[in-house]
Chain A
Amino acid sequence: MSEEEQQIPPEDANAPINVKVVSATGDEVFFKIKRSTKLSKLQGAYANKVGKDVNSIRFLYDGARISDTDTPASLDMEDNDTIDVMVEQVGGCVPCSS
Chain B
Amino acid sequence: MNAPPLTPTAFSRPAGLPMPLARSFVTVVLSTIVLIAVCAVFAPSSLSWGALSGSLPFAAIIAIVGLGQLLVVQQGGFDLSLPGAVSLSVVVATHYPQQDDALLFQAVLVAIAFALAAGVLNGLLFSVFRLNAIIATIGTNALLYGAVFAVSGGVPSITTELLAEIAGGETFGVPNSVYFALAAMAVVSFVLKKTVVGRRYEVIGASPSAGRAAGLSVRTHQMMAYVFAQLLYCMAGILIGGITREPTAFQGDSLLLPSVAVVVLGGTSLLGGRGYPVSTVVAAFFLNQLSQFALAVGVPYSAQTIIQALALGFGIGVYSLRWTLNVRKSTG
The finding on whether chains A and B are genuine partners in a shared complex, rather than unrelated, reads no
Chain A residues at the B interface, C-beta cutoff of 8 Å: none
Chain B residues at the A interface, C-beta cutoff of 8 Å: none
